[in-house]
Amino acid sequence: MLHQNRQALVVEGGGMRGAFTSGVLDAFLQQQFNPFDLCVGVSSGSTNVANYLAAQQHDVSKLMVLRTRPKNYYKATSKGDQLLAKYVFKQKRGFAQSLLNRTQRYNDSVQFVRSASKQQILEVCPPDLKNMAGRLSKNKTKIRYSYDVGIETGLKAIEDWKSL
């Protein structure tokens, strides 16, 4: 059953790309913006959302998804995943199958966010800029830049959310 007034936030992971979502969430905190009944984070996104968590409730009508990849990103099949799956298939069939399906699950999740549904969904993505931090970045300038872009994007997301 869909509860009409429930709102959710989903925060994607991505290693050091999490500097972006950290900036978005800090912008929300600075503006005292927290309309969410349910907050979920994946990997580094769970770390960023930990202090932002509200009461956990399900069945939302309004959903904000913070991604750490640009809007045009779709995951490509990984030869590393395929090789590892082949190596461990006899011993760990479930794990091997998970590796083989990982790309499709990710892309299906992105498609779900973009599909028409009863929920209002706001997808917040970083810009596709070369000077943004990558997953394993150690460059403090790129990490700081990603955070600052996150602040700017977070302020825009607040306005977009209010107009949903």
**What pLDDT tens digit does each residue of the chain (164 aa) get?**
566 788 988 998 887 777 788 788 888 878 888 898 888 888 878 877 775 554 333 355 777 888 888 988 888 887 877 777 777 766 777 777 777 777 887 888 888 888 867 778 899 999 988 899 988 999 999 999 999 999 999 999 999 999 98
DSSP conformation class of 11: E
Burial of 150 (0-12, 13-18, 19+ CB in 10 A): buried
Residue 143's closest CA among 44, 8, 77, 60?
Answer: 44
Reported pTM: 0.64
pLDDT of residue 148: 95
Place of tokens 């590393």: 80
